[in-house]
Amino acid sequence: MSNFKTNLQYLRAQRNMTQEQLAMLLGVSRQAISKWESEKAYPEMDKLLVLCDLFDVTLDDLVIGDVARPRRNASPAQGHADEPDDTGVPAAISERPPLSMLQQNPAPLPRDITGYEAHMRSFDAKIPAGIFAIIFGVGAGMFFDADNSILGVSPFNDFLMFLCIVLGVIIGLVFLVPAGLGHSAFMRSHPYVEDFYTEHDHAEARRTLTVALVGGIGLILVGLAQLIFVNEYLHTEDGWPIGVFLMLAACGVAAIVYGGMHFGRLNLAEYNKAAEREYREARGLNDSYDMVNGAICGTIMMIATIVGLTMLFGLVIIPSRCSSGAACRPKACGRVGAPPGPSRIG
């Protein structure tokens, strides 16, 4: 492996890749890459094959050849390049271009060797599907609202409303929970992914985001217009009109979320930052600043939640004014300063 050290350094330089980034791609430590390049150790065969796939070179070129002049690109006249010519100098050495020319050779396009594209497409589909199921389930339940049920006055209204909401939540969680756990596991397994997307991919993602935003906002506005129309002309506020609005809103929100995630998955720089944080947290490598910052943010959120719940339930349980001799009952809301109702006698 006399040429492996030089070839690996050359390939990293072409991709502007640090030792740490290459180590994350291969699932090894940075010290292992450093030992390979200093010839203190050599990689296993499976790592060599991953390197060949990553940099699009053959195993012979990587280990004993010259990746700057791969043998598979040689012409038939150069098939015996290793044999000495009349001058006694091997042809592979005599025909090697200067170092400045080697550095100008374009690097092969990066490829997805981590399965990032397939994983993110699945993740981008499951999250909007889960959100859609939850909102749609609530909307379906509103069709059985006791005040304006499509069944009329029926003892099954409350049960059917509860059933629709519960089914929507369960189906939503079936999508959301595995997607979230799987994404966290993928980020810990692949804390660095090389950017392999082309400008065509970015243009396609921008078009998808535009269509998703316009379509999603349009669906929400149509649902809102339907709600206003029914309220103004049919004098109906509760029940199925709200259900129709929530169903259209479910489609709109799911479309917006999908478009945003489809566009965001191409931002591999942000993914690498988040994945590195996840990787360090999983191994307890966070520095003191991150730990203190996380503790402060968590404390602030807990205090804000406690204050909000206290204010909410404090307003709900404030007792209403009571007339003399009548039992005080809490009321949820009422006009500020409204006079107390007439007292009941007897």
- Residue with the bigger pLDDT between 236 and 210: it is 210
What single DSSP character describes residue 332? S
pLDDT, mean of residues 313-321: 49
Residue 218 C-beta-side C-alpha neighbours within 13 Å: 7
Amino acid 89: pLDDT: 43
* Statement: residue 238 has pLDDT above 70: yes
pLDDT digits (tens, 9 = 90+) for 91-100: 443 444 444 4
Amino acid 29: pLDDT: 74
H/E stretch holding 171? helix 157-189
pLDDT digits (tens, 9 = 90+) for 12-30: 787 777 777 777 777 777 7
pLDDT digits (tens, 9 = 90+) for 161-215: 999 999 999 999 999 999 999 998 888 877 778 778 888 989 999 999 999 999 9
Q: Give percent helix, percent strand, percent coil of the chain, each to the nearest 5.
A: 65, 0, 35
The answer to whether residues 10 and 67 touch, using CB atoms and an 8 Å cutoff, is: yes
- Identify the CA nearest to 140 among candidates 159, 168, 171, 174: 168
- Residue with the bigger pLDDT between 35 and 140: it is 140
For residue 115, what are the contacts with CB-CB under 8 A and spacing of at least 6? none
* Residue 345, SS3 per DSSP: coil
Query: What amino acid is encoded at 146 in this protein?
Result: A
Amino acid 211: pLDDT: 96
Amino acid 285: pLDDT: 55
153-162, 166-175, 303-312: which is most confident: 166-175
pLDDT, mean of residues 120-141: 93
Amino acid 331: pLDDT: 45
- Identify the CA nearest to 142 among candidates 106, 180, 168, 170: 168
Rg (alpha carbons) of the chain, rounded to whole number: 32
Q: What is the rounded distance in angstroms from the CA atom of residue 234 to the CA atom of residue 237?
A: 9
What residue ranges define each of the domains in the chain, with the CATH number in brackets?
Answer: 4-103 (1.10.260.40), 116-310 (no CATH)
* Statement: residue 87 has pLDDT above 70: no
List C-alpha distances in Å: 38 to 1, 4, 12, 56. Answer: 12, 10, 14, 23
Amino acid 340: pLDDT: 53
* Statement: residue 344 has pLDDT above 60: no
The answer to whether residues 10 and 102 touch, using CB atoms and an 8 Å cutoff, is: yes
Q: 84: which strand partners?
A: 90
Tell me the average pLDDT of the chain: 75
Q: What pTM, to 2 d.p., does this model score? A: 0.60
* Residue 318, SS3 per DSSP: coil
Angle separating helix axes 157-189 and 268-282, nearest 10 degrees? 90
